[in-house]
Structure formats: structure tokens, C-alpha cells
Chains A and B, each alone.
Chain A
Amino acid sequence: MSRARADEEEYWHSSKFRAFTFDDEDDELSQLKESKRAVNSLRDIVDDDDDDDDLERVSWSGEPVGSISWSIKETASSSTSSLEGQDSSLQKGSSSYAAFPKQVSSYSLSSLFKGRNRLPSFQSLSNALSDTGVKNYAPELRRPKAEYKDYSSDWSPKDTVKRMQRGKVLIFLKRTLRREILFRELEVRQVALCHLIHFLKETGEQKLLLDLLRFLDRTEEVALSQYREHLNIQDVEKRREFLKGCIGLPFSAEDTSHIQDHYTLLERQIIIEANDRHLETAGQSEIFRKYPRKASILNMPLVTTLFYSCFYHYTEAEGTFSSPTNLKKTFKIPDKQYVLTALAARAKLRAWDDVDALLTTKNWLGYTKKKAPIGFHRVVEILQRNNAPVQVLQEYVRLVEDVETRLNLATKYKCHDVVIETYRDLKDRIQLTAYKCKVERGSAEEQNINSILNNTQIRWKN
């Protein structure tokens, strides 16, 4: 499962989502361990034949000895004499394959294969036909197109299909007929049509292909086919121009807006890239000095660009092309995506205040409230991945709604206060007492636990 191309986010996101597995009494795994143990002990029992596993002669490159891929490696650079030397080893290899019992079969499949050999024969059949056929009709074709109709009606549909499949006729027709007539005929003959489209794609005859598609009214395909070409344009400016030209093409409504966005994004990226490169070389900007860019922002996806912008241009006003808020507005990035990306960027820079501000909203009364459109456990995860200090983590662990998750995370990341508070709220004396051993002797946390335990007002449930 490979990642898509490397981009800045890839560079900077230190690790993928990592699963934590608790130790489990998994019978499966212990069974496996047991079988592994048994296997290993077997090695000791039997006299060591380990090195010579006759039954599967595999060179360490992994190729089975005697296979084609192995022999390509072996023979490619060797002379014939060294080949002789390997002969004997090959012999040995093949003879030491253990003889497994063969089951007696009730059917032989040779008849199947004989029959199968006849399948391609219909090609040879049409071979005979079309070879003569084309020659015969060739002179007729050279006549004006008015007589074209006679030509095609002389063939039975069966023959037509066969010959079309051979492709000989197609190419011939393509060369000699006027485009419109060819197209019209092809419209009716689906198989030949598919063949021709494939042929044109293979040979790169883009213009003819587009004409054909337009004729067939497959306009969206035309648009996409043309859009695809942008991948072959390496120069950024030229690509931008090209994309601009794509906007008017007959895409579907949704796709049109995406193409528009693609163009706009690239346009922005060009501006940002030029500007930032300048800043970098000038050496005046602190952020660029501290975190030199590992890659250019050109042709990166939108979200990556947003991350980049939140990293390097976070404080800029909405008016600039490189500000995150401008990106958000221009591309209508949803809140959830925005907060997530900005969070990741600021966390990477260890800008905890920014993180805090992102997650705080003020209601109309002026009261602030912490809110996350992505769930606080995710926030914690991102912060933890960027090695946030415990005090910072603790803030947000506290806000995880689900109690069990909250306890898990708090215990895992040693957010003692949160654990203590939660057990207190749950009125769980046993757990709280047990947790004492997890905190440092004589610490403030221990004192806290003790004072809570001693609190007579609390109605413990256990």
C-alpha cells in the first residue's frame, strides 16, 4: 500500500496513524507462537540439514533455481562455458523435487485443448477471406465516394465484423475514406468503433480521436481527454495557460468547477512559489531560515497547499494570496478540513497558543468555549504526534467527551490530573487508589489524590 507522491505534508507528518495494541490473551497468537516454538525445537531434534533444503532450491535473490527469471539473470552476462557448470546443479535441483502422489484423473483435457486451438482459427478463416477481399475491393474504393455504399453492403454483417476485428480494413478505410463517412459507419458498428478508439489512443492521434468523440456527441469524454493532456506539460506557466483553456470545455457542471479550481490553485501556487523563493534567498524571514523548504509548492493538492500556508504564512491578512484565510475563502474549504490542517501545521511548529485559539470560539455573550469540529481525541492525537508537552495535552484530553476514551488517553499520556478528576467524578474509589502508584511519591498529584480520598463529602460508589 504505497503512498502517493511525496509532498510537504508527507515530509513533515512524522508518522502514520499508529495503532496501540493492548496485550491480549489471544489464543490465535499464542497458538502461532506455540507452533513456531515447536518448529524451532524441531530443528534441534533433527540432524542439521538446514542449509540444504533440497526441496526448494532458491537462490537468495529469491528466484527459484531453474526458473526463467532466474536464468535470465544468470545467462545474461555469462558465457556458454559457465553455463555448463550450472548444468549439473540444475540437474540435481530438478531430481530432488519430492515425488508427490499424482491423482488418477478421469478426464483428459487434450480434447479441450484441441478444441481451443480452433478458436483462433476463425481468425485464420477471415485471414483467407480478407486477404483476397481487400485486394478485390481496393480498386473500387479508389472511385468516388458515391459508390461507397455498394462496397459495404456487399459484405455480410458476419464478414464485416470479422474483418473489422482484423483491423486491416479499418486502417485501410481510415486512409481512403473521408472522415465523415467513416465516422457515420462506425457509429453503427460498435466493435469496430471500440477498436478504432483504442487504436487512436495507442498511436497518439489525439486530434482525430477528439473529432471522432465530438461526432459521437461524447462531449464530456472530449473535455476529459483534452484535460488529460495537461499531465504532459512540464513547464508550469504553460500548464497554467493550458488549464485556463480547459475551463470552457464541455465538462459536467461539477467537473467544471473542479477544473476552475485547479487553474486557480496553480495560478496561486506560482505566485506563492515565486514570492517565497525570493524570501528564502533573501534570508530575512525567520520562519524560512528555521524551517527551510524541502520542496516547491507547485502542483501540490489543495490541502497540502493549505498546510504549507498555515505553516509559513499563518499570520497574514486575508488580502494576500498566501494567507490561509484567503485560501479557505477562495476554495470554500469546509471548517472541519481547515481546523484540522491548521492544527497540524501549528502543532508542528509547537505554537500551542495558536492551537488554543483555533479551538476556542466566543459566543455572543463574550464567553469562550472550546470546540473542535473533529473531536478532541483527534486533536490530542495530532498534538501528541508532535510531542506536545503534557500540560498542553492535558487541556484537550480533559475535553474528550467519551469517558472511556478520555481515561485511556489520559492514562496513556500520563495526564494525571485528568485521570484523577475523572475517577473522582465517577466516584470510583478503587481505581483512584490504584492510580496512586502511577504518580510520583510526594508529588502534588499524590497529595491531590489523598485529599480527594479523604474528602468525606464524596459518596463513593465502591
Chain B
Amino acid sequence: MAAHLSSGRVNLTALREAGRRELRQFLDKCAGSKAIVWDEYLTGPFGLIAQYSLLKEHEVEKMVTLKPGRLPQADVKNVIFFVRPKLELMDIITDNVLREDRGRSPQRDFHILFVPRRSLLCEQWLKEQGVLGSFIHREQYSLDLIPVDGDLLSMESESAFKHVANMMIRMKREFPGSQNSIFPVFDTLLLLDRNVDLLTPLATQLTYEGLIDEIYGIQNTYVKLPPEKFAPKKQGEGGKDLPTEPKKLQLNSAEELYAEIRDKNFNAVGSVLSKKAKIISAAFEERHHAKTVGEIKQFVSQLPHMQAARSSLANHTSIAELIKDITTSEDFFDNLTVEQEFMSGIDTDKANNYIEDCIAQKHPLIKILRLVCLQSVCNSGLKQKVLDHYKREILQTYGYEHILTLNNLEKAGLLKLQTSGRNNYPTIRKTLRLWMDDVNEQNPNDISYVYSGYAPLSVRLAQLLARPGWRSIEEVLKMLPGPHFEERQQLPTGLQKKRQHGENRVTLVFFLGGVTYAEIAALRFLSQMEDGGTEYVIATTKLINGTSWIKSLMEKLEPAPF
């Protein structure tokens, strides 16, 4: 189950093991039979650490989702709540506890496990409701960094944006002594705040995995897809057994084919799939050539692997077809064209016709916001007239309440006024070579292939840090928001790693505020580069795409009831 975690340079399986250990310890603390009441949001991330079988081993007999009302009857000794420290969840728990029948026998003990940490606010709240005393064990489970794949860690935390930045910076400042033992494995730690590169998440990702996320959304390595293309074809049985539930697939590097195509530009995926089809087809043909018992035995032993490969190929062929339908649509093309115009610096200073048309046709608001913010970022802010024009059109078309949304975007720096009167973006773009005209999608030689021309600013910074270093781009760094600093730690000689000759350095890049799959692909590309010199492990507060990112910044505006 965790094969995908050991595929990287640094073995993240141990991280998962530690998580499992901590979970076991807590469960054993609540001795006896148990039922777990789940905060639904947590089931996904927990699934990356443990399966139900582990919980069963520790006497978990029943699992339900958290909701108001009475808890189900189950005859267990303990009821444990696995929840995030949120007030609205505390209300539900209070309701559950108060409705518990105290006359029943045997009585059930209550416990709470806060994920990722306890909260004074929540416990205070419970106290005021008079139920705090009902809980015997109140603990926290620091599910902070979840290993998602061999080289990828995520906190999957919605609101960690500023918090983690502060946390890490304070950590560096206040614990200089103890830091040495925290990250002995990495040569370099690069902390990148999302604010430094607001552009990248706004652009439509063009890698295979990136497009899957953009179109269908990947949650905790799972994706839900429309089922029609995945129905097993049985002879003679029409379409009557067509499934209606979405098809759920897990996507990680344990799947050979997926590992091969996930980071490719989508235009290069088709040829890989067709080559694979030929190989698999040929492999199955082998059975006709197998004559001796030995040969047949050999073939049969390979069968499971071949079947897995065939099933994998079938799935990804279907997915690729689904994506193709979208990427060949006129709307996708028009949208991408405008994005690329902005990113290459064309006409970013006036109101864009395509955007206006989309507003007039009432395309989904998030699409509009992505484009408008992209233009703003590529222009170092919009001129008053243009900004007012867009705002007005948006408010008139989608409703005035979106003033709140637009304000949030402004606070985040995504959609703002051009204050300095000058546009820094062309300089940044040229110095860091963010726009590459001669991009090669099939056999890329530069990270710009992930957006078919645009090199993600964040990754370019990482690239330049390794070689030749940031001194060469001091001027441009000053134009980017936020301070930057470098700190070197002196490791005591005992801890210093002896690097073998030719071995690569390992850099941990921690994205504070979210990272996209396209950026991850770009970093992997750098890792694979010959004489690149550095391999990357990636950590983040959350895996994002433009849509989920903007959504998190939008106000939750309730629709008016009719």
C-alpha cells in the first residue's frame, strides 16, 4: 500500500510509519472496544496513513461520520471523536454527548482526538457548554505533513497560509541549537511563500496530472471520474448495467504507467500510451510462442503484472480521452490563448475582449476571476480605469455581493491597483526567462514545458538557487514581494554527511500557501536533469490549482432562497 512512498530519494515510508505508530498508541490508550466518530474532512488524509484494517487491530468496531443528533447504539466501551479544532464541530459533538443516554449500560467513555492540534478555543467552548468533563482522553494527533508520494509531502490544510510561514520562521529564530537534528537529511531547505509567485497557480496547468486536477480535482491522491468510459464491457450485455456512481481511482507513483506520464505535457501522453499498447499487446502474444512447460510457467507468472499493466493502460486511455475532449474545445483554446498572451506580456494594460465576452455570456465566475487576476499579476496591478471596468462588469453580471470576493482578492494581492505606475513584470519575465518561445513538449529541455511556454516563477527561483545562486538575480529578487534571506547552519562534524562523489544534493522545497502539480512536475524535471546536481523533495501546506485556490479566497456567499 505504501510502495509509492519509497520510490523517492528520501524514504518517506518512515514518516508514514511514525504516523501509524502514534495512532496505535492513542487507540490503545482508550482500552477496550471502540467506535470512531469521524470529521468527514479527515477521512481522506487519514486514508493516506492507515486503512481500516489497522484500526480494527486496535478494537475499532464501528465508524460513523460526525453529525448532529443521537449517536448510533453500538455496544462499545469507548466513543472517540476524530475532529479538526473547529467551533461548529464542537457544537455537533456537544449535541451528541448531551443526547447520550446516561442510563444505558454499559456506559460509554468519550474521548477526543484533535487533528492536527488541540485548541484552547474549542476546549473553552466545550467547557462553556458543560461537556468538557465528559471526555476522558483529550489529545492531539499532529497529522501535519502527510506523505503523499515518494517525494511529496502535504499538510492538506486550508488555512495554513500565513500561519506556517510564521511558524517556520519563528522555529528558525528561536531554536537555532536544536535545528541541526531536525533536517539532517537535506542539504538545503528552501521556503517559498506563495506570495512570491502568485502567477503560477492562476495559469491552466498542462501536464497530465495537472489537467486531471484542473478538470476533475484530485483529493488525497484520489480522483472521481464520470463512469461511462470505465464500465466493463461484457459481451452480449447491452448498456443496462451502466454504473451511475463516479469512478474513483487512486493516482500515485506505485502505478508504473502513471509515474511515467503524470508529469508529461499532455500533448506528449498519447504517443506513450500507444507505445505501451503495442508492448502489452506483444507481451500477451507471447503465449503463442510459449511451447515448453517452463516457458508457459514463465508466462503465467508474469500474468498478474501484465494484467495490471493492461488495466492501468485502459484507465489512462479513458482518462486521456476525457481530457482530450476538453482540451480540443474552442473554449479551452481561447482561454489558453488569452492566458499565454498575458504571460508573454501582450496587452496586459487594457480591458481584454475575451474576458468581457465571457462575462457577457456569464461563464463561471471563477474562470473570470482567474483571468482577471492573471492579467493583474502580469501587469503589476491594473490601471484604475481597467480595474473599475472589470469590477463593474463582474458586479453587474454576478451580483453586488461579490464586492466581498473582490476585496479578498485585493487583500491577497491578486487583483489590485497598479500603485507604482510602472510594470515590473516584463523585467522579471526577461531576467528569469519566464516565457520561452521555443518550448518542446515532447522532449522538453526546460521547465517551461509544464505550461507550454511559461516557466513557473517559483521553480525558476529554485533552479537558480542551485545554480548559479541568487546573487546573480539580486535586483529582480527585490522586485518580488516579501523579504528573502539565506541562513547557513554549521553542522557539527559528526552529523555532516559524507557525500559520495557524483551524488546529488538534496533540497527540500517547502511551499507555504500551496503548490500545483505542474510545479511539482517542473521540480521533478530538474531532479532528473543530467548534471543538474540537485534532487528535490517537495512539501507544502496544500495541493492546489487555480480554481480551488481562488475558491478558498472567495467569500462563502449564501444564495438567497426563493
Query: Which A residues contact B (CB, under 8 angstroms)?
Result: 1-5, 9, 13, 16-17, 19-21, 26-29, 31-32, 34-36, 38-43, 45-46, 49-51, 53-56, 58, 60-64, 66-72, 75-77, 80, 83, 90, 94, 97-98, 100, 102-103, 105-120, 122-123, 158, 161, 166-168, 171, 191, 194, 199, 202-203, 224, 227-228, 230-231, 234, 254-255, 258-259, 261-262, 265, 295-296, 298-303, 331, 333, 336-337, 340, 374, 378
Residue among B117, B124, B162 making CB contact with A194, cutoff 8 Å: B162
Report B-chain residues with C-beta under 8 Å of the C-beta of A67.
Answer: 47, 51-52
Which of B311-319, B338-346, B426-434 sits within the interface? B311-319
Q: Contacts A50-B232, A64-B248, A299-B399 given; 4 further ones with Cβ under 8 A?
A: A55-B307, A94-B1, A112-B15, A114-B181
Fill in one digit per residue for B514-543: 1 if any A CB lies within 8 Å of its CB, else 0.
000000000000000000000000000000
CB distance from B557 to the nearest CB of A (A): 6
Report A-chain residues with C-beta under 8 Å of the C-beta of B421.
Answer: none
Cβ of B47 and Cβ of A68 under 8 Å apart? Answer: yes
Which B124-148 residues have C-beta < 8 A from chain A? 124, 140, 142, 144-145
By beta carbon, the residue of chain A nearest B167 is A119
Cβ of A108 and Cβ of B11 under 8 Å apart? Answer: yes
Cβ of B184 and Cβ of A102 under 8 Å apart? Answer: no
Report A-chain residues with C-beta under 8 Å of the C-beta of B547.
Answer: 1
Report B-chain residues with C-beta under 8 Å of the C-beta of A194.
Answer: 162
Cβ of A46 and Cβ of B284 under 8 Å apart? Answer: yes
Within the assembled complex, what's the spacing in Å between the Cα atoms of A265 and B142? 50
Query: Which B residues contact A (CB, under 8 angstroms)?
Result: 1, 3, 6-15, 18, 38, 43-44, 46-47, 50-53, 55, 61-65, 72, 87, 117, 119-121, 124, 140, 142, 144-145, 162, 166, 170-171, 174-175, 178, 181-185, 224, 232-234, 243, 245-248, 250, 254, 256, 267, 270-271, 273-274, 276-278, 280-281, 284-285, 303-305, 307-308, 310-311, 313-314, 317-318, 320-321, 324, 328-331, 356-357, 360-367, 388, 391-393, 395-401, 403-404, 407, 547, 555, 557-562
Report B-chain residues with C-beta under 8 Å of the C-beta of A106.
Answer: 9
CB distance from B150 to the nearest CB of A (A): 9
Most A CB contacts (10 A, CB to CB) among B62, B170, B224, B561 go to B62
By beta carbon, the residue of chain A nearest B250 is A64
Can you list 29 pairs linking A and B with CB atoms under 8 Å apart? A9-B362, A26-B328, A28-B324, A35-B277, A35-B317, A36-B317, A40-B233, A45-B284, A53-B311, A62-B247, A68-B43, A68-B63, A69-B44, A75-B61, A103-B6, A105-B9, A107-B11, A161-B170, A224-B404, A227-B404, A228-B404, A258-B392, A261-B395, A261-B400, A298-B560, A336-B356, A337-B360, A374-B360, A378-B357
Cβ of A55 and Cβ of B14 under 8 Å apart? Answer: no
Cβ of A68 and Cβ of B364 under 8 Å apart? Answer: no
3 closest A-B pairs by beta carbon, nearest first, are A115-B182, A62-B248, A105-B11
Most A CB contacts (10 A, CB to CB) among B140, B285, B401 go to B401
Residue among B15, B47, B120, B317 making CB contact with A32, cutoff 8 Å: B317
Cβ of B397 and Cβ of A42 under 8 Å apart? Answer: no
Known: A94-B53, A115-B182, A119-B171. A68 touches B245 (CB 8 A): no
Within the assembled complex, what's the spacing in Å between the Cα atoms of A453 and B336? 44
Cβ of A258 and Cβ of B121 under 8 Å apart? Answer: no
Report A-chain residues with C-beta under 8 Å of the C-beta of B142.
Answer: 117, 120
Report B-chain residues with C-beta under 8 Å of the C-beta of A107.
Answer: 9-11, 185
Within the assembled complex, what's the spacing in Å between the Cα atoms of A122 and B142? 14
Cβ of A166 and Cβ of B11 under 8 Å apart? Answer: no
Report B-chain residues with C-beta under 8 Å of the C-beta of A45.
Answer: 281, 284-285
Within the assembled complex, what's the spacing in Å between the Cα atoms of A109 and B555? 40
CB distance from A227 to the nearest CB of B (A): 7
Q: Is the interface of A mostly helix, strand, loop or mixed?
A: helix
Cβ of B403 and Cβ of A72 under 8 Å apart? Answer: no
By beta carbon, the residue of chain A nearest B42 is A68
Report B-chain residues with C-beta under 8 Å of the C-beta of A32.
Answer: 270, 273-274, 317, 320-321, 324
Known: A105-B11, A302-B396. A231 touches B1 (CB 8 A): no
Within the assembled complex, what's the spacing in Å between the Cα atoms of A228 and B277? 56
Cβ of B120 and Cβ of A166 under 8 Å apart? Answer: yes
Report B-chain residues with C-beta under 8 Å of the C-beta of A50.
Answer: 232, 234
Cβ of B6 and Cβ of A171 under 8 Å apart? Answer: no
CB distance from B447 to the nearest CB of A (A): 23
Cβ of A39 and Cβ of B560 under 8 Å apart? Answer: no
Cβ of B248 and Cβ of A49 under 8 Å apart? Answer: no
By beta carbon, the residue of chain B nearest A45 is B284
Within the assembled complex, what's the spacing in Å between the Cα atoms of A265 and B395? 12
Within the assembled complex, what's the spacing in Å between the Cα atoms of A70 and B55? 13
Report B-chain residues with C-beta under 8 Å of the C-beta of A262.
Answer: 400-401
Known: A103-B6, A107-B11, A259-B400. A116 touches B185 (CB 8 A): no
Cβ of B277 and Cβ of A39 under 8 Å apart? Answer: yes
Cβ of B232 and Cβ of A51 under 8 Å apart? Answer: yes
Cβ of B182 and Cβ of A42 under 8 Å apart? Answer: no
Within the assembled complex, what's the spacing in Å between the Cα atoms of A36 and B234? 16
Most A CB contacts (10 A, CB to CB) among B280, B305, B361 go to B361
Known: A1-B547, A68-B50, A228-B404. A39 touches B310 (CB 8 A): yes
By beta carbon, the residue of chain A nearest B124 is A171
By beta carbon, the residue of chain A nearest B224 is A62
Cβ of B63 and Cβ of A39 under 8 Å apart? Answer: no
Cβ of B233 and Cβ of A43 under 8 Å apart? Answer: yes
Within the assembled complex, what's the spacing in Å between the Cα atoms of A234 and B44? 35
Cβ of B307 and Cβ of A265 under 8 Å apart? Answer: no
CB distance from B36 to the nearest CB of A (A): 9
Known: A83-B61, A301-B396. A111 touches B185 (CB 8 A): yes
Cβ of A100 and Cβ of B254 under 8 Å apart? Answer: yes
Cβ of B308 and Cβ of A55 under 8 Å apart? Answer: yes
Cβ of A76 and Cβ of B397 under 8 Å apart? Answer: no
Report B-chain residues with C-beta under 8 Å of the C-beta of A76.
Answer: 62-65, 72
Within the assembled complex, what's the spacing in Å between the Cα atoms of A38 and B144? 44
Within the assembled complex, what's the spacing in Å between the Cα atoms of A369 and B243? 56
Report B-chain residues with C-beta under 8 Å of the C-beta of A118.
Answer: 178, 182
CB distance from A400 to the nearest CB of B (A): 16
Report B-chain residues with C-beta under 8 Å of the C-beta of A41.
Answer: 281
Within the assembled complex, what's the spacing in Å between the Cα atoms of A337 and B284? 61
Within the assembled complex, what's the spacing in Å between the Cα atoms of A112 and B19? 13
CB distance from A46 to the nearest CB of B (A): 6
By beta carbon, the residue of chain A nearest B313 is A39
Within the assembled complex, what's the spacing in Å between the Cα atoms of A68 and B20? 14
Residue among A109, A122, A168, A255 making CB contact with B120, cutoff 8 Å: A168
Report A-chain residues with C-beta under 8 Å of the C-beta of B55.
Answer: 68, 71
Most A CB contacts (10 A, CB to CB) among B140, B162, B303, B400 go to B400
Within the assembled complex, what's the spacing in Å between the Cα atoms of A5 and B561? 10
By beta carbon, the residue of chain A nearest B76 is A80
Cβ of B396 and Cβ of A303 under 8 Å apart? Answer: yes
Report A-chain residues with C-beta under 8 Å of the C-beta of B181.
Answer: 111, 114-115
Within the assembled complex, what's the spacing in Å between the Cα atoms of A204 and B366? 28
